[in-house]
Structures are given as structure tokens and as C-alpha cells.
A = this chain, B = another copy of it.
């Protein structure tokens, strides 16, 4: 049992009351920023279940101090390299940083292939930079639930900045916007149709648009396209567009400054932002609970409901409402 050091059974089938409470030692070590303890706690947060809930409950009141920054964008835009360079700027100020890189590896299986060390090599040996891949579960609400908990644990471990990196195609972008106080969307020149097509939605969630690899041909065209798109959306005139060359540390100070500017504006909303994250986590968990119950639910009443829906006797909305009342606690 991988996490037996925590004294918490990992099995999800064991009821919550069977789990011995985590010892205070764990919480002391976590608050002191002990990397091994943090790593174990994150694994538990990803696994979910009663053990995750117990730990999360204990650390919940100690969260809300860290700034949470989201980085998203298509594969190949250079997100990891950009984050690597951004971390260097933050480290220059003495900040402690944790990175949760949401790995698209495994929608069903759950196992991440990308090692943490592949990403952000520059800081691999720095004890004040904690980098962790978090597997994207792909289940309804799955990513949000675990990433919210992971961010909370990183927060409780005393990190000043928590960077959440996601590969941006649809769902995960929205989720990063829900978690992060500032959301950076990374673009690169000349990335093909599908990537271009992403931008319309991305404008809704971006606080800062970065055109990375700005030394490549066509970079200026990409920047211009983004500017033109912004002009069409009066509601988002406040989005900055910045050019960077992450591999050469070009433009990173400007990016860091833009992020700081947004964070400073939002300081008053810090507690509100924490409340919103918590509420979202509760809603996601409730939704997943309900979905689990729906999947497992069977019986004559459900069969009858399915028959009625299949023949069109009742519509899907009515069927869904009836199903909810069938499975309610």
C-alpha cells in the first residue's frame, strides 16, 4: 500500500469511519512544506474517497493564501517552456512555487505517462519549486474535483504561487478559468486550423493572451489576428496581448508584471475567489455523486422510465427530472 506512511487506507471500498484519522504529524509536515508529504497528499487527493476528504477537511481552513495562475493553450505552443521561464522570474523574488500540470494522458486509465521531470527542467532540483503532473480523469467532474483538492493542498503547504497548466481543447480550459485567479492563454504562430478555431472560446476565459515563439515568421500576423478578434469583442477589451520567446527569456518580465497587475487588482476579491472555488468543488462533487447514482441505478421504475423515453412518451428533460427523483438520497 503505497501511502501507508500516512496511516490512511487507500481503498475506496472501506467506509470513512474505518479510516484512522491522519496523525497531526502529517499536517505539521505539510504546513512546513515537506515535499514528500505534499506528494503523498496530492496522490491521495487524486485518488479521492474518504481519505482525501479527511485530509482536505483538515487543511481547508488553511487555504486562500496562494495566488493561483492558469496557463492553457494548444499542444506545441510552448506552455511548459514559458512556465519554466516565468518560474525563474518568480524565484528571483524568492517566491515558493507549485505547478500542477494537468496531463491529458489518460482519460480512462488514469495513469500519467509524462514524467514530471520532462517538464520545466530548469527547476527540477530547486526545493522551492514543486512540480507535479495530475492525470486528467476525463470523467464527468473528475478533473475539477481532484484539481481543486490538489490546489488546496499546495496552498496549505505554503506556496506563494500555484500554476495550473492544462492543454487547451475545450473542457479543461473552462476548468482552469474556474480555478485560476489569472488565466494566461498561450498561442504560437502558424498552428493550423483547429488551433485557430480555439481562439474564439479562449477569449472568454483569457485574462492575458501570449504569443509565444514570437521570433518565428508569422508571429506578427498571429498577434494581429488576436488583436482583431479582441476588437470584435467589446466585453473583453481588457485582455493584454504579449509576445514572448520563452526559450530566450524574452518578454517574461512583462508577462510577470501583467500577472502581478491583475493579482493586485483582485486582492480584495481573494476571499471571494476562495469561496467560489470551494463552492465549485462542492457542486462538482455533488454532481458526480448524483451521476454515480444514476449510472448504478436500475430496477423496474428505471426500466419503465427508459421505455417511456425510448418511445417518445415523455421527453428527455422530463425523463431526467423523474430519474433524479428516483435516485435522490
Taking the complex as formed, is A7 at the interface, i.e. its CB lies under 8 A from any CB of chain B? no
Q: State whether A324 and B316 are in contact (beta carbons under 8 Å apart), knowing that A113-B196, A172-B170, A173-B107 are contacts in the complex.
A: no
> Does A112 lie within 8 Å of B197, measured CB to CB?
yes
Let me know if A57 and B312 touch, CB within 8 A.
Answer: yes
Is A310 in the interface zone, CB < 8 Å from B?
yes
Give A53-66 as 1s and 0s: 1 = Cβ < 8 Å from B's Cβ atoms. 11011111100000
Q: Are A281 and B316 in contact (CB under 8 A)?
A: yes
A235 to chain B, nearest CB (A): 10
How many angstroms from the CA of A179 to the CA of B75 in the assembled complex? 26
Contact of A315 with B174 at beta-carbon distance under 8 Å, contacts A113-B197, A141-B140 already known: no
Q: Tell me whether A111 and B200 are in contact (CB under 8 A).
A: yes
Q: Does A239 contact B (CB under 8 A)?
A: no
Chain A 126-143: CB-based contact to B (< 8 A → 1; otherwise 0): 000000000010111101
Q: Contacts A108-B205, A138-B171, A170-B138 hold; do A320 and B197 have CB atoms under 8 A apart? A: no
Please determine whether A279 and B306 come into contact, CB atoms closer than 8 angstroms.
yes
A32 within 8 A of B: no
- A contact residues vs B (CB 8 Å cutoff): 16, 50, 53-54, 56-61, 74-76, 103-109, 111-114, 118, 136, 138-141, 143, 149, 167, 169-174, 177, 192-205, 274-275, 278-279, 281-287, 289-291, 294-295, 305-306, 309-312, 314-321, 323-325, 327-329
Apart from A169-B170, A289-B317, list 18 A-B contacts with CB within 8 A.
A53-B316, A53-B317, A57-B312, A60-B311, A61-B312, A74-B75, A75-B192, A113-B197, A143-B170, A167-B170, A274-B310, A282-B306, A282-B319, A283-B291, A283-B320, A286-B323, A324-B328, A325-B328
